[in-house]
Structure 1
Amino acid sequence: MPDTLRRLVLVLGDQLDLGAAAFDGFDPACDAVWMAEVAEESTHVWSSQPRIAMFIAAMRHFAAALRDAGLPLHYRRLDDTDAQEDLAAQLRADIATLRPQTLVLTRPGDWRVLQALQAVASEAGLPLALREDRHFYTTPADFAAHAARRKGLRMEFFYRELRRRFDVLMDGDEPLGGQWNFDADNRQAFGPAGPGFDLPQPPRFEPDAITREVIALVRERFAGHPGRLDHFAWPLTRTQALQSLDAFIRERLPLFGPYQDAIWPGEPWLYHAQLSAALNLKLLTPREVVSAAQAEVRAGRVSLASGEGFIRQILGWREYVRGIYWTRMPAYAEANALDARHDLPAWYWTGDTDMACLRDAITQTLDHGYAHHIQRLMVTGLFALLYGVEPAQVHAWYLSVYVDAVEWVELPNTLGMSQYADGGVMASKPYIASGKYIDRQSPLCGGCRYRPDERTGERACPFTTLYWDFLLRHEARFAEHPRLALQVRALGRVGDAERHCIREQARALRSQG
């Protein structure tokens, strides 16, 4: 450690990038890096064991890379005898020992963390140089400028701007193939035989000594937290992340598009990338991911529909939700436009439910810390929306259980896209559907005790009951909605007696918790 410390570079658990802006101008002779594992980051929401292990193991691997690169490092482990419980307290204690002249930080992914670190710097009378995160294509200021030019926000328009600005899938000034969006081509379900025996499996990385030590620590220290670590094999280093990217591009991207909305029991990965955790930890950059996918499209090895569908998730949604987050916080976290007040059912933490689709998605989530976007939006998220769960509780659950969950991306996707709690900022309508949607996208309904086409009675699918109850509860609000009015008008075929039965059955479902 340098005798006189000019800059202390703060590196958080989702900033594992040697090329981050915080390292600009770094001089090992007079600067040092600070990293800390603290319990609060696993307990401010009741984080699952896979999520905790993901962050700590990736941090320890990155610390090894920093040391190999010759960068002076002050690293606090969770099991150090003098470790503090929260990030602010740990930084405060270490500032007193290290006595830096300046703190340097790349913009965090969590508004709460940024406020805490800024407060510590202010208390200590130290300047905190906050540098923008070059990992992303855009900055919060870019998004604010885009929003200022429009009466309303829609991801599609922002995405088109970025396509043009960064020349992604473009033919001059027009989109490659003559259209911007290939959603209509990307909604296929698997046939009766499912995805087949030749479904390529993503790379899984056997835990090394560092990761095994972290797994043992998490099992002991966080034994009461949800989730399991028996299948933990995520990419935790830059090298492993690049291997995962290469395997996805070669083996699964060609069929990602058609089957991105499909669900199949016992197959957690299907044709999805599983790159979001590596991206959100900054082990990969979005530019290299988008570039690799675009190259496959232009070479003719991947259809434009598959390539565009994947790139839209990275260049479109990922950048868009970050813009929403940083221009709307902190008030955004309190949004509850539909006045949803019910508690999250307890079985969200166990998977112990008779509903086959929810049991499958939640069990998979607890086993792997992962579920793909349709399982999140149109299974676990849809049920919470129809049930009327308080959005803050839904947000806490998603932030807790998924290994790729960082608040900047999870919060807008949950409150805005999934729960419509922001009243239409993120999404132009609530994404609501009955059990028939899940029946179309998966075979799970066939083995379930409930029937997706029945809305009342002993065999009625809870999704279907709650779908009609949602329409009844919000009939006035959405009667003239341009994208939901057709669904609301279907209530005209439901008589008073059946309306009463729907409401009573929905009330009984909620009473079961």
Structure 2
Amino acid sequence: MMTGPVLVPILGDQLSLDISSLADRTPDDTLILMMEVAEETTYVRHHKAKIALILSAMRHFAEELREAGWTVDYVRLDDPANTGSFTGEVTRAVARHTPRGVLVTEPGEWRVAQVMEDWRTTLPVRVRILPDTRFICPLTDFFQWAAGRRELRMEWFYRDMRRKTGLLMEGDKPEGGKWNYDTENRGGPDKDLDPPPIARFEPDAITREVLDMVAGKFANHFGSLDNFGWPTTRAQADLARDNFLEHRLPLFGKYQDAMVAGEDFMFHAALSPAINLGLLDPLDLCRRAETEWRKGRAPLEAVEGFIRQIIGWREYIRGMYWLEMPGLADANGLDATRPLPEFYWTGDTAMHCLSDCVRTTRDNAYAHHIQRLMVLGNFALLAGISPQQVADWYLVVYADAYEWVELPNVAAMILHADKGRLASKPYAASGAYIDRMSNYCGSCAYNVKRKTGPDACPFNALYWHFLARNEKTLGRNPRLAHPYATWRRMSDEKRAAYFDSAEAFLETLEPAEPGWARS
């Protein structure tokens, strides 16, 4: 019988002192295991900066735990004895320390949950898996909310979360009389817009060591390390939070959908990597944003839009992931099979919007949500690219991408692969939307005003091509009634011109090389 301390494995996205697996533990009877394992760095070929961020944050968190009195068994990626997997390292730790049990917080991803379930039968000690209490809505509550509903729309979930948290509420009514100020948050790119810089952090000795290792070990992975400045400690994440609340939150709402070439962060928070790692508490962040409004330092529409992204969209997406898995990973409701184009990796395309979005993704492991949804995602939807390949790409390239948040956003919201379980209609748009919300089109090789022909914006013909080829599936969607009515009124010649232009453009797409995402 093993009589040692309780072994508490903490994963790379569980970097919170109040993680549930430590809630009732004391340092004198607990041994924390942290593992850098090869499987997690290469199950997809993650962006170099994403790997560096997670490993650096893990090493800093281990030091924070030790300073707080905890004993940490830390296995580095370059340890010659490292088995390369969670199961291998937990098994080795059980043999080293003979713990009387393993206590772990549930993971964020389906595949890791299956691994943890196997520990119950493969390890010689009892394994307890606890809920992740860092989320505001427990999964059991989400499943109860979803049960029996014909439509699982985020807006209704969001209103329940507002009532539950009391955020921006006046009694049982929303502050300002409206639940949602989205219509006031659609400002385009004003000419003299000058967003303040986000907080960036000079790498310390720990981060520099990680950057050097990643540059050598993952040299053939996508992305650059040149601009690395993400917060890797709780103190840095707090500074990044305060910088956003003071300098960018007031204009976040108005310009949250705007895109400007070379302005990679605009007024966005860029806090999602820190939140998803566990360095920031999402509910605390929302309460701080609410305080900015109550003290008159930020307008209601900006604060409501920001809070909606966290207690509404983030919590809803997490619930939908666990509700729909594992089927969501293979969903392809629109039968999209085209391979991912090579320019998603190189940025080598004459479409200015796409080339700039790939550039910021490569340089920063970041693009803001409209770039991800309405440029990169919209093109993938219109071109009929395989949902599995698109989801792999998003999982690879963004520092905040974990499957629980990435997969439902990509497969369901962007690509409508779930046949509308999550979103009531596809987020399909022609070049006119990108022209309205960005300054990309003015310096593009293609003419956004032209609808067909070799020099016309490809989004224009692709939009109608998408609707035409999916009419059997989408033609009765009430939210697409107007565009389908327009399509049906077109002359045969005009429809043929759109279709021929789209087909001609699609034939020019070069597929990415094999093995670009998964080795």
> Which range, TM-score by smaller chain?
over 0.9
In structure 1, distance between residues paired with 2:155 and 2:72: 43
1:280 and 2:279 are equivalent in the alignment: no
Match of 2:203 in 1: 207
- Equivalent-residue separation in structure 2 for 1:238 and 1:339 (angstroms): 44
CA RMSD of aligned residues (A): 1.4
In the alignment, is the contact (CA less than 8 A) between 1:51 and 1:369 conserved in 2? Answer: yes
Q: How many Å separate the matches in 2 of 1:99 and 1:328?
A: 38
Aligned length: 508
Equivalent residue for 2:416, pick from 415, 420, 437 = 420
1:115 to 2:111 alignment: no
Q: How does 1:293-304 map to 2 (within 5 A)?
A: 293-304=289-300
Question: Identical aligned pairs, as a percentage?
Answer: 48
Higher mean Cα deviation, 494-503 or 137-146?
Answer: 494-503
What is the Cα deviation at residue 5 of structure 1?
Answer: 2.3
Q: 1:401 aligns with which of 359, 376, 397?
A: 397
* Bigger mean CA deviation after superposition, 92-101 or 180-189: 92-101
3-state SS in 2 of match to 1:75? strand
The 8 Å contact of residues 49 and 226 in structure 1, kept in 2 or not, is answered as yes
CA distance in 2, matches of 1:150, 1:488: 28
Q: Partners of 1:429 and 1:493 in 2: how far apart?
A: 21
1:175 maps to 174
Structure 2 residue corresponding to 1:216, chosen from 199, 212, 219: 212
Distance 1:476 1:455 in 2: 24
Structure-2 separation of matches of 1:432 and 1:100: 54
Partner residue, 2:42: 43
Report the alpha carbon displacement of residue 459 of structure 1 after superposing the two structures with TM. Answer: 0.6
The 3-state SS of whatever aligns with 1:436 is helix
Q: Which residue of 1 aligns with 2:514?
A: none
Do the aligned partners of 2:454 and 2:501 also contact (CA within 8 Å) in 1?
no
Deviations 1:424-482 (A, max 9, x none): 11111100000111111111111111112323211121211211100110123222211
Partner of residue 184, structure 1: 183
381, 396, 403: which one pairs with 1:385? 381
Cα offset, 1:126, TM superposition: 2.9
| TM-score in terms of structure 2 length | 0.95
Deviations 1:348-405 (A, max 9, x none): 1121111100000111011000000000000101101111111111111111100011
Unaligned runs of 5+ in 2: 511-519
* More displaced stretch, 381-390 vs 37-46: 37-46
TM-score normalized with structure 1 length: 0.97
What is the CA-CA distance between 1:149 and the residue it aligns to? 4.6
Q: Where does residue 99 of structure 2 map in the other structure? A: 100
CA contact (8 A) 1:28 1:71 kept: yes
Q: Which amino acid aligns with 1:138?
A: C
- Tell me if structure 2 keeps the 8 A contact 1:451–1:460: yes
The answer on whether the counterparts of 1:395 and 1:410 sit within 8 Å (CA) in structure 2 is yes
Amino acid at match of 2:88: A
Q: Distance in 2 between matches of 1:463 and 1:312?
A: 29
Following the alignment from structure 2 to structure 1, what is the Cα–Cα distance between the partners of residues 490 and 85? 54
Which residue, out of 465, 483, 489, partners 2:479? Answer: 483
In the alignment, the residues of structure 1 paired with residue 144 and residue 124 of structure 2 have an alpha-carbon distance, to the nearest angstrom, of: 33
Q: Tell me if 1:311 matches 2:307.
A: yes
Equivalent position of 1:7 in the other structure: 6
Distance 2:287 2:385 in 1: 39
Between the aligned partners of 2:316 and 2:28, the Cα distance in structure 1 is 40
Whole-angstrom CA distance in 1 between matches of 2:78 and 2:269? 33
Aligned-pair CA distance for 1:60: 0.7
SS, match of residue 220 in structure 2: coil
Misfit runs of 4+, over 3 Å: none
Between 1:366-375 and 1:294-303, the stretch displaced more is: 294-303
Counterpart of 1:62?
Answer: 61
How far apart, CA to CA, are the structure 1 residues paired with 2:290 and 2:458?
42
Please state whether the residue corresponding to 1:101 is helix, strand or coil: strand
Alignment of 1:95-174 (within 5 A): 95-174=94-173
Question: What is the DSSP-based 3-state SS (H/G/I as helix, E as strand, rest coil) of the residue aligned with 1:457?
Answer: coil
Which shifted more, 81-90 or 271-280?
81-90
Gaps of 5+ in 1: none
Please say if 1:29 is aligned against 2:25.
Answer: no
Q: What's the CA shift for 1:150?
A: 2.1
Tell me, yes or no, if the aligned pair for 2:119 and 2:127 is still in contact at 8 Å: no
Aligned-pair CA distance for 1:68 = 1.2
